[in-house]
Chains A and B, each alone.
Chain A
Amino acid sequence: MSDMLLEGKAQGGQLKLAGAGAWTAQNARALEALIDGETARAGKLRQVDIDMRGVERLDTFGAWLLERLVRDFSARGCQTSVSGLREDYRALIDELHAVKPEQAPAHGNGQSLTYALGSIGQSIAAIGESFTAFINMLGALVAVVGRVALRPRGFRFTSLVHQLDNVAWRAVPIILLITFLIGCIIAQQGLFHFRKFGADIYVVDMVGILVLREIGVLIVAIMVAGRSGSAYTAELGSMKMREEIDALRTMGFDPIEVLILPRIVALIIGVPILTFLGSMAALYGGGIVCWLYGGIDPDIFLSRLKEAITIDHFKVGMIKAPFMAMIVGVVASVEGLAVKGSAESLGLQTTASVVESIFLVIVLDGLFAIFFASIGM
């Protein structure tokens, strides 16, 4: 049926085209092919008559194709006439006839090499930008803390309690479970390998030191980045998208003071607590595996642990916790405020927030390791 849509007969310099059937969206593809076939006709044409009597239905798609047909022939210098069109379609045809032939600006990614180089440049610039944004946010936070310290009643305790509930209290079960499992795994691996040297008992040293200094705080910081950092970014980002942050500003509130400070303070309080709980759970897991798998009695485990670890190991872990919390909080806030209007950008910034904060947490851990080694802790 589609070949009935348009038929052409050429006679000398004259072309007679007859349209028929439904010139509608469904047939647009077939019709376009027919029309392009006609306009590509070789030979010299002076006059084109388009007879539309047979066309039963016409919508924007068909009308545009008719318009294109007319324009293409006119551009070739032909006399073009359209006849037999139903009166109700007049307005539509006129409307489309008025469309300017202006082409949309070219789109696409351009040349692939320039595109590749360009995107490398852009991502390097983006790293620089997020670094400045990070420093900016830190500065703004310090300023806000100063302001709040002078006027402590301005601090939002309700918000803080709510955030603490979210980031600390509700995180306890999952943190305990994960750190417990990690403790078990470390002890099991240690036992398995140390047994070859008959050094089973040193597993206790390894579990104690590793958990208290590194693993406890790292696992907690990473979990919090994934759990609360992403939530912060998404919350702040969607508030930004819906102009809620602008609304706060216009009412004379500082969004950093109202939204961000309570969240970061909640993290700074919550993460050390979670680190403590997580470390205990990991030691507990290690102890259980040593007992059940390694045959080390709980009494022996505890006395060995007492000898192996000092208060310094514990302090090292706990000192790092608030700094990690701060990094997660600041990165999440920076990324949240960087969200633009689209849903896609919300997703991108949330991903960036988690990836960046985990990366920075590990970098910071490395820097702390150097620092503590040099002061002999």
Chain B
Amino acid sequence: MARGNGSKDTIIEVRDVVVGFGEHIVLNRVDLDVYRGEILGFVGGSGAGKSVLMRTIIGLLPKRAGTIKVLGVDMAAASDDARRAVERRWGVLFQQGALFSSLSVRENLQFPVREYLDLSQRLLDELVIAKLDMVGLDASVCEKFPSELSGGMTKRVALARALALDPDIVFLDEPTSGLDPIGAGEFDNLIATLQRTLGLTVFMVTHDLDSLHTVCDRIAVLADGKVIAAGAMDVMLASKHPWLQAYFHGKRSRADHAERQ
């Protein structure tokens, strides 16, 4: 299923990263590679530190040791300008959407674009409609405020905002949690479609076994503060690691599998 990553161009490189809060070490020497153009599914138990790793990569949490390179730039050593240039090339979908509550949907989508690019109002407005269309929403939500959106719409608008600057990488934190199975399936398809059309690299934290099966090229598993396995779905299914066995061959996944067959 791997799409165009024969050359395995590494776009995110995490090496020996240690992150902790006080005494509590959440990530203990984590290594992870994300390749250009792939959808990486990142799984692990609740509280394993998936969000923590994501937030560390995007620079929201400090790390105690290790290096993180994004698009070949060592984020800790880079100058402010170099770092900002990299930040412009990623988009983030937070677990709760994190839309700005006092701005309308239109303003939410235009906010990052206005900040970085000097475009005419007409083009800004047209792009909002185009971006909303891409995430499957119509122009009528433009003037709505985040508090007036349903959960699924919030996720879609947040995804559109993450894509506002046409990033190379998008980070998605549990994009399908809180959506009904149909909505979740649509969202998965949406991510796969956008990945194809825009040539994105997607780093997706997820618990949704369906997403892992249908859209992810590779899966990385976080347990006990380390990435214990990374590879395609068949590698995961073949693994003998007890956590992987329980996760991919547990009751829920089997029921899921039986249906598929």
Give residues in A with beta carbon < 8 Å to B. Answer: 24-26, 28-29, 32, 59-61, 64-65, 68, 88, 91-92, 95-96, 98-100, 102-105, 107, 241, 340-345
Indicate with 1 or 0, residue by residue over B88-115, a CB within 8 angstroms of chain A CB atoms: 0000000000001110001000000100
Given known pairs A29-B120, A59-B198, A104-B128, the reply for A341 and B146 (CB within 8 Å) is: yes
Interface centre among A60, A88, A91 (most CB of B within 10 A): A60
- For residue B153, CB closer than 8 A to chain A, the reply is no
Given known pairs A105-B142, A107-B143, A341-B147, the reply for A60 and B106 (CB within 8 Å) is: no
Q: In the complex, which residues of chain B have a beta carbon less than 8 angstroms from the beta carbon of A24?
A: 166
Q: In the complex, which residues of chain B have a beta carbon less than 8 angstroms from the beta carbon of A341?
A: 101, 145-148
Chain B interface category by residue count: 35 or more
**B119 close to A29 (CB less than 8 A):** yes
**A104 close to B117 (CB less than 8 A):** no
Q: Which residue of A lies closest to B126 (CB)?
A: A64
Q: In the complex, which residues of chain B have a beta carbon less than 8 angstroms from the beta carbon of A29?
A: 117-120
Indicate with 1 or 0, residue by residue over B133-168, a CB within 8 angstroms of chain A CB atoms: 110001110110111100000000000000101100
**Distance from A278 Cβ to chain B, minimum over Cβ atoms (Å):** 38
Q: Is the interface of A mostly helix, strand, loop or mixed?
A: helix
Task: Give the top 5 A-B pairs by smallest Cβ distance, nearest first.
Answer: A341-B147, A344-B102, A342-B101, A59-B166, A91-B197
Q: Which residue of A lies closest to B107 (CB)?
A: A107
Additional pairs, 7, CB under 8 Å, beyond known A25-B113, A32-B120, A60-B130: A28-B119, A59-B198, A60-B166, A95-B133, A95-B193, A341-B145, A343-B100
**B130 close to A99 (CB less than 8 A):** yes
- For residue B127, CB closer than 8 A to chain A, the reply is yes
A-B contact pairs, 11 of them (CB 8 A): A28-B119, A60-B134, A96-B130, A104-B128, A105-B139, A340-B147, A341-B145, A341-B146, A341-B148, A342-B146, A342-B147
CA distance A342 to B199 in the complex (A): 34
Q: In the complex, which residues of chain B have a beta carbon less than 8 angstroms from the beta carbon of A65?
A: 123
CA distance A334 to B258 in the complex (A): 55
CA distance A103 to B143 in the complex (A): 12
- For residue B131, CB closer than 8 A to chain A, the reply is yes
Give how many A-B residue pairs fall within 8 Å (CB-CB): 93
Q: In the complex, which residues of chain B have a beta carbon less than 8 angstroms from the beta carbon of A95?
A: 133-134, 193, 197
**Distance from B223 Cβ to chain A, minimum over Cβ atoms (Å):** 31
Give residues in B with beta carbon < 8 Å to A. Answer: 100-102, 106, 113, 116-120, 123, 125-131, 133-134, 138-140, 142-143, 145-148, 163, 165-166, 193, 196-199
**B139 close to A103 (CB less than 8 A):** yes
**A60 close to B127 (CB less than 8 A):** yes
Interface centre among B123, B142, B146 (most CB of A within 10 A): B123
Q: In the complex, which residues of chain A have a beta carbon less than 8 angstroms from the beta carbon of B128?
A: 104
**Distance from A121 Cβ to chain B, minimum over Cβ atoms (Å):** 21
CA distance A60 to B147 in the complex (A): 28
CA distance A343 to B130 in the complex (A): 28
CA distance A340 to B118 in the complex (A): 33
Q: In the complex, which residues of chain A have a beta carbon less than 8 angstroms from the beta carbon of B101?
A: 241, 341-344
Q: In the complex, which residues of chain A have a beta carbon less than 8 angstroms from the beta carbon of B106?
A: 104, 107
Q: In the complex, which residues of chain B have a beta carbon less than 8 angstroms from the beta carbon of A340?
A: 147
Of the candidates A25, A68, A105, A342, the one whose C-beta lies within 8 Å of that of B126 is A68
CA distance A91 to B120 in the complex (A): 26
**A32 close to B117 (CB less than 8 A):** no
**Distance from A105 Cβ to chain B, minimum over Cβ atoms (Å):** 6
**Distance from B142 Cβ to chain A, minimum over Cβ atoms (Å):** 5
Q: In the complex, which residues of chain A have a beta carbon less than 8 angstroms from the beta carbon of B125?
A: 104
**Distance from B5 Cβ to chain A, minimum over Cβ atoms (Å):** 14
Given known pairs A32-B119, A59-B166, the reply for A102 and B138 (CB within 8 Å) is: yes
**Distance from A340 Cβ to chain B, minimum over Cβ atoms (Å):** 6
**Distance from B119 Cβ to chain A, minimum over Cβ atoms (Å):** 6
CA distance A282 to B235 in the complex (A): 78
Q: Which residue of A lies closest to B125 (CB)?
A: A104
**A64 close to B127 (CB less than 8 A):** yes
Q: In the complex, which residues of chain B have a beta carbon less than 8 angstroms from the beta carbon of A68?
A: 126
**A28 close to B146 (CB less than 8 A):** no
Q: In the complex, which residues of chain B have a beta carbon less than 8 angstroms from the beta carbon of A91?
A: 193, 196-197
Q: In the complex, which residues of chain B have a beta carbon less than 8 angstroms from the beta carbon of A100?
A: 129, 133, 138-139
Q: Which residue of B lies closest to A343 (CB)?
A: B101
**B143 close to A64 (CB less than 8 A):** no
CA distance A105 to B125 in the complex (A): 10
**B198 close to A60 (CB less than 8 A):** yes
**B147 close to A61 (CB less than 8 A):** no
Q: Which residue of B lies closest to A107 (CB)?
A: B143
**Distance from B180 Cβ to chain A, minimum over Cβ atoms (Å):** 19
**A28 close to B129 (CB less than 8 A):** no
